[in-house]
Amino acid sequence: SSLCMMLENEDSVLLQLHLQWNQKVLELSDKYQLNNINYWGVSEQSRDILIKKTALLEFIKKLTYKSEVSVLDLVQEIQTKSPNLETQKIIDYLRNLIISEFLFTNLRKVVINHNCLDNLIYILSSINEQTKLTTDLLQLKSCIEKYSKSELGEGILQYAEICEKMSHIFNEEKQRYLKVDLVNSYDSLLPKDLKKTLEDFVNFISRINLGKDYRNKELISYTEKFVEKYGEYVEVPIKQLLDSKLGLGIPKQNLEPYSILSSVAEQTFLSYLSKEIFKAVKNNKKEIDISNIPPELLYPNLDRFAVNQFELYCEMKNFGEQPVISIVPNTGSDMIGKSIGRFASYFLNSNIELDSRVDNVELIEFPSDNKNLNVMSSHHGHSKKLLLSYEDDFDIDSLELDFLVVGVERVNEHYKLYFRDLRTDL
């Protein structure tokens, strides 16, 4: 992140990047507000910021709100609108908005994405002034790949070469250099009680891999209860519906016990996943790659979406002669793009009590399907805001809970929930 932060501060790099408006910025009557900013993780800069609305700021927001815009194009658009503004002053103004996190560059997405080194190399490869850095990063990538393929007890020379290259890539005067994750591989015996935990995790992977004929049993149960309570032709205010006393409560409270399918295809698929995951944990591998899964194992059809990468962060502790591992799902985001928390409701016993001696193994999902991108990795921000406390009759780009109703409609043989805004009829 320090490398990307410093690159943003170079004009030659900034003009080759893209910008997008931060969707977390709050719009007040005459100001914009952003809470708890933490520029590239620099803790001493964490603070709340208020910026007064100006014609220039409104113009920038309009151009960058829905999608990324080239910095160079944005500068030219601003100069067309305000010919008297100097180019350098425009660049400095945009950089201040970036530091304040009102705007994000595409370098920010490099840090939160899984293939961060590849993405950084791709961006820098089109910037002539960064040819040397691009070459250095390519060499570093090659060294890392060689190290990752080395056998247990080998790779010492590659490791030393990686450290040497990292220490000279960037910002030597501050004693900071580009860092990468290296895995200290070793074999170990798996505790017997780990088998059940891993099997539960494999079943979880199967359940979040959505196919055409998949229907979320939680939503099915909730929809059926909606029809039983209100009927087919009634729209209910969402606040009333989600109130456990007045309505049905939140869907998770109505989750019916999940019945595991027992088809031959699914059992074959689960068996394959079990072997790969057990193999990875036993050898303390950091990544499990199932992108090359045989087509005959990808049930129920070839166009079924499958998460193809899960990352394991493992730390084992030995008690006597017995190594101990525990695997639990990460049930929330830590603001760097982890999204497995979206699936927390699939675990019926979400509060798992663990032995205080045990370090958790964290499972982090990196979906490759466009429909299920990590929230912070999405290329396009939501065009709707959610307002909880004030009303604006002229604001058609927002949704208010007070005006949001829920109903059901029949599609083929099934009921589906829908939401409607009473003001805009959307």
pLDDT tens digits along 24-72: 888 888 888 887 666 555 554 556 788 888 999 999 999 998 888 999 9
Residue 215 has pLDDT above 50, yes or no: yes
Q: Nearest-CA neighbor of 199 among 187, 188, 207?
A: 207
Alpha carbons 139 and 123: distance in angstroms, whole number: 16
Q: Please check whether residues 336 and 232 belong to one and the same domain.
A: yes
Q: Please check whether residues 327 and 201 belong to one and the same domain.
A: yes
Question: Does residue 366 lie within any of the structural domains?
Answer: yes
Helix (H, G, I), strand (E, B) or coil at 411: strand
Please tell me what DSSP assigns to residue 191.
P
Of 273 and 385, the one with more pLDDT? 273
Q: Please check whether residues 243 and 299 belong to one and the same domain.
A: yes
Alpha carbons 104 and 22: distance in angstroms, whole number: 6
If pLDDT is split at 50, 70 and 90, which confidence band does 386 have? very low
Question: Does residue 63 lie within any of the structural domains?
Answer: yes
Q: Please check whether residues 202 and 350 belong to one and the same domain.
A: yes
Q: What percent of the chain has pLDDT over 90?
A: 5
Q: Please check whether residues 261 and 336 belong to one and the same domain.
A: yes
Is this structure's pTM higher than 0.85? no
Q: Please check whether residues 333 and 230 belong to one and the same domain.
A: yes
Q: Nearest-CA neighbor of 253 among 245, 263, 261?
A: 245
Phi-psi region of 335 (alpha: psi -120 to 50; beta: other; left: phi over 0): left
Q: How many structural domains comprise the chain?
A: 3
Question: Does residue 308 lie within any of the structural domains?
Answer: yes
Q: Nearest-CA neighbor of 272 among 280, 261, 260, 283?
A: 280
Q: Please check whether residues 155 and 201 belong to one and the same domain.
A: no
Of the candidates 174, 203, 219, which is a domain's last residue? 174
Q: What domain range is 210 assigned to? A: 194-377
- Residue 174's pLDDT is 52
- Residue 37's pLDDT is 66
Angle formed by the axes of helices 87-99 and 55-64, nearest 10° = 70
Q: Please check whether residues 63 and 84 belong to one and the same domain.
A: yes
Residue 376 has pLDDT above 80, yes or no: no
Angle in degrees, CA 20, 363, 212, rounded to 5: 75
Under a CB-based contact definition with an 8 Å cutoff, are residues 221 and 255 in contact?
yes
- Residue 147's pLDDT is 77
Q: Residues 163-176: what's their mean pLDDT?
A: 66
Q: Please check whether residues 217 and 351 belong to one and the same domain.
A: yes
DSSP states along 343-403: GGGG-S--S----TTPPEEEEEE---SGGG--GGG-SS--S-EEESS---TT--SEEEGGG
